[in-house]
Amino acid sequence: MTSSPDESTAEKKEKASSAPKGGAKAKGKAAPKAAKTAGRKKAAAKKAPSAKASAPRRAARKKEGAKKAAAAFTPRIVVFACNWCSYAGADTAGISRLQYSPNFRIIRVMCSGRVHPAFVLRAFELGADGVLVSGCHFGDCHYIFGNERAVEQFEKTKRLLQILGLEEGRLRLEWISAAEGTKFAAVINEFVAQVGALGPSKLAPRELELPQEAEEFADAASLAK
Amino acid sequence: MAPEATVNEKTLQAANVRLCLECGKCTATCLVARYNRSYSPRRLISQALSAGRPPDRQALAICLTCMSCDERCPSGVHFVDLIREWRRATYDREFAGNCSHGGAFQSLMKLMTAEDLEQDRLAWVTEDLKIAERGEVGFFIGCTPYFDAFFTELEVDTLAGVKSTVKILNALGIEPVVSPRERCCGHDLLWGGEQDSFETLARRNVALFEELGVKTLIFNCPEGYYTFKEDYPAVVGALPFEVKHISEFLAERASDLAFDGTQGEAVTFHDPCRLARFSGIVEAPRQALAAAGVEVAEMVRAGRRALCCAGNGWLNCDRFSKEIQVERLREALATGATTLVTSCPKCEIHFRCAMHDPNLGDEIKMEIRDLATAVAARLTEKETDNKTEKPTPKPNEE
Ligand code: SF4
Ligand code: SF4
Ligand code: FES
């Protein structure tokens, strides 16, 4: 895993990206798509006049962070999706104009087998409330046995997170094919609800620096509700 | 390299860096330099001094901070202190991506700084092990539960040493305080240049054991021991309790233990850097083993001259690390011993990893055991049961 400094801005925007390239790509592709389906245009139109007021508002958000979290908690989900099935599944969901929860940032990896525990731990370290790892169904992995490795890595990650005392429900493994746009949307909705019920992650940094864009994104997410 | 890397001039002075004679003894001693021709501590010093800024972070990550060079330096240069200061000055979170294991341990350590952390780290405590929630003697188990969960494919069992330590303490009539709220000591964050998170961990750990009424804190892991002893005071002031490595403790109290007196297999002892060179504890583990009736066949380079296991705080691992590990294992096997006893969970991990080399296979295979395990294996149950009543009762609640 390499990350050069010039990619770090993109990475910060993703807030929890261990694979910067996939992350940047995902932002340009799947994430806005998701936001769009969730009425981002509405949000943008509404927000236009208040754009200048965003700095003080951000400060306010930081201050009453805890209160706000309790009032309207929008979980931050990181999704690691393999290039050949699950990422394409997210595309299918978008192409089919499915309406589903936009509270996630998708990071494309070549294969779910690449999702080392370090990726997931890093996502939680940077403030994720939940992490979804997703790949091809067994037998369909582009690299034949990559998703079997993914299971091993996932089990290891689960053990580490269990010792750390993180709720089991914040981590999930799913097999989603390129055709299963509906499944992708359903899994995301379900997972967002599940993590939403658990509340903010205890391991997340207290003061999360939200880049402007991420704030708009969060607003779009709460509007979609 | 961070653009405005500022180096603390005081630290440079304290490390005697300006006294460097450029004699090159450090490079001649350095294990890494012997294998990795592009690495030279002498050159790092002279280049950094003439450039007026720290060397490149990647070069800094290579040093094992094993302190072998400091031992040789005729001018008293503390190269490891220098490395630490440079790493602090060039700290870059993004660099964690290049660390060994994808930076998983860096993340774990940082996650452990969370205030409301509620870990499930005592799953190893079986019925026969008596631990207490409060009391005067504490036992810091460190990151061993995480190590065992992470290195499953290497068949690592660092918790064996932890369990054995509790067994030994129980045999002495001590029920040590073991807390699920303890966190990583932060050693690798400190040596990786991440000062802030290190300080958070230091404060929380010290506050925890103080709150639990601990007067003596025992360590199995020499890194934890050294960090508490030497690096925590800079953050929290004088420690409110005494710290002891299990080997020191065993050397003192071994006479209160009863051993079965059997002759087991031949062992050799690998001195961990943080124990021998950093803390100067060389005799204690040997005394503990001798008391338990374990005979030690010494390696050519033992004590302060011991080779390093080539683990460097999860910052870097490369083919040179492997060469060093293999060299050390060959040296261990040359003593005729079949078991390598060490007193550091990380030494165990790194040697076990090297032994998984498919090309070398059985050539470098040997048993690895923690000091506490080697000692506990010789305890006799009956007599130690009698002993439990005799020693001065500790005010431990169950
Ligand atoms: S051994 Fe000491 S004096 Fe000699 S080059 Fe190394 S740091 Fe300088
Ligand atoms: S501390 Fe060890 S690895 Fe680093 S330069 Fe000195 S001898 Fe080499
Ligand atoms: S390519 Fe999809 S899981 Fe391997």
- Residues B165-193: pLDDT tens digits? 999 999 999 999 999 999 999 999 999 99
The whole-angstrom separation of Cα B284 and Cα B291 is 10
Q: What is the pLDDT of residue A69?
A: 47
Average pLDDT, stretch B286-296? 93
Residues 5-44 of chain A whose Cβ lies under 8 A from any Cβ of chain B: 5, 8, 11, 18
Global pTM value: 0.84
User: Ligand 1 centroid to B26 CA: how many Å?
Assistant: 5
Closest CA of chain B from A182, distance in Å: 33
Calculate the CA dihedral of residues A33, A34, A36, A39 and round it to 10 degrees. 180
Tell me if A84 sits within 8 A of A136, measured CB to CB. Answer: yes
Backbone conformation region of residue B139, classed left if phi is above 0, alpha if psi is from -120 to 50, else beta = beta
CA-A142 nearest atom, ligand 3: 1
Q: How remote is the C-alpha of A125 from its chain's centroid?
A: 14
Residue A60 has pLDDT above 70, yes or no: no
> Residue A121: closest CA among chain B residues belongs to which residue?
B107
Q: Give span(s): CATH 1.20.1050, chain B.
A: 102-113+126-254
ipTM rounded to 2 decimals = 0.90
Domain housing A101: 6-19+73-220
Q: Which residue has the higher pLDDT, B10 or B308?
A: B308
Among A114, A125, A154, pick the best mutation site for testing chain B contact (most B Cβ within 10 A).
A125
Based on the structure, what is the number of domains in chain A?
1
Kindly determine whether residue A125 and residue B107, on different chains, have CB atoms separated by under 8 Å: yes
Residue A46 in domain: no
Among B108, B151, B158, B189, pick the best mutation site for testing chain A contact (most A Cβ within 10 A).
B108
User: Ligand 3 centroid to B371 CA: how many Å?
Assistant: 44
The whole-angstrom separation of Cα B203 and Cα B113 is 10
E strand intervals along chain B = 137-140, 216-219, 242-245, 267-270, 339-342, 367-370
Q: What is the pLDDT of residue A7?
A: 40
Residues 206-265 of chain B whose Cβ lies under 8 A from any Cβ of chain A: none
CA-B29 nearest atom, ligand 1: 1
Residue B225 has pLDDT above 80, yes or no: yes
Q: Which two tokens stand for residue A127?
A: 């403030």
CATH annotation of B258-381: 3.40.50
Closest CA of chain B from A132, distance in Å: 17
Q: Is A202 on the interface with B (CB under 8 A)?
A: yes
Q: Which of B17, B44, B75 has most ligand 1 atoms within 8 Å of its beta carbon, as the pocket-test mutant?
A: B75
Q: How remote is the C-alpha of A178 from its chain's centroid?
A: 18
Q: Give span(s): CATH 3.40.50, chain B.
A: 258-381
Residue A215 in domain: yes
E strand intervals along A60-152 = 77-82, 104-109, 130-135
Kindly determine whether residue A5 and residue B97, on different chains, have CB atoms separated by under 8 Å: no
Residue in A5, A116, A163 nearest the CB of B102: A116
Average pLDDT, stretch B185-208? 96
User: What is the CATH number for A164?
Assistant: 3.40.50
Which pLDDT band holds residue B292 (cuts at 50, 70, 90)?
very high
Q: What is the pLDDT of residues A180-210, one digit of tens each?
A: 999 999 999 999 999 999 999 999 886 666 6
User: Class of the B102-113+126-254 domain?
Assistant: mainly alpha
* Residue B15: HSE in the Cβ half-sphere, 13 Å Cα cutoff: 22
Number of other residues whose CB lies within 10 A of the CB of residue B37: 8
Residue A53 in domain: no
CA distances from B152 to A80, B112, B156, B165 (A): 24, 21, 6, 22
CA-A82 nearest atom, ligand 3: 2
Q: What is the pLDDT of residues A22-47, one digit of tens each?
A: 333 333 334 444 433 333 333 333 33
CA distances from A118 to A27, B95, B109, B191, B393 (A): 21, 13, 12, 20, 46
Q: Which two tokens stand for residue B377?
A: 């294996």
Which pLDDT band holds residue A13 (cuts at 50, 70, 90)?
very low
Residue in A5, A165, A202 nearest the CB of B94: A5
Q: Which two tokens stand for residue B11?
A: 């630290």
Residue A112 in domain: yes
Q: Give the helix, strand, coil percentages of chain A, each rounded to 5.
A: 60, 10, 30
Residue A45 in domain: no
Q: Is A119 on the interface with B (CB under 8 A)?
A: yes
Q: Is B58 on the interface with A (CB under 8 A)?
A: no
The whole-angstrom separation of Cα A113 and Cα A80 is 10
Question: For chain A, what is the mean pLDDT?
Answer: 75
Residue A6 has pLDDT above 70, yes or no: no
Nearest to B16 by CA among B66, B79, B90: B79
Task: List residues near ligand 2 (CB under 6 A).
Answer: B 26, 29-32, 41, 63-69, 79-80
Residue A38 in domain: no
> Residue B95: closest CA among chain A residues belongs to which residue?
A3
Of A52-66, A104-118, B194-208, least confident by mean pLDDT is: A52-66
Tell me if B168 sits within 8 A of B375, measured CB to CB. Answer: yes
Kindly determine whether residue A163 and residue B152, on different chains, have CB atoms separated by under 8 Å: no
Average pLDDT, stretch B298-316? 93
Residue B23 has pLDDT above 90, yes or no: yes
Q: Which of A107, A116, A143 has most ligand 3 atoms within 8 Å of its beta carbon, as the pocket-test mutant?
A: A143
Residue B41 has pLDDT above 60, yes or no: yes
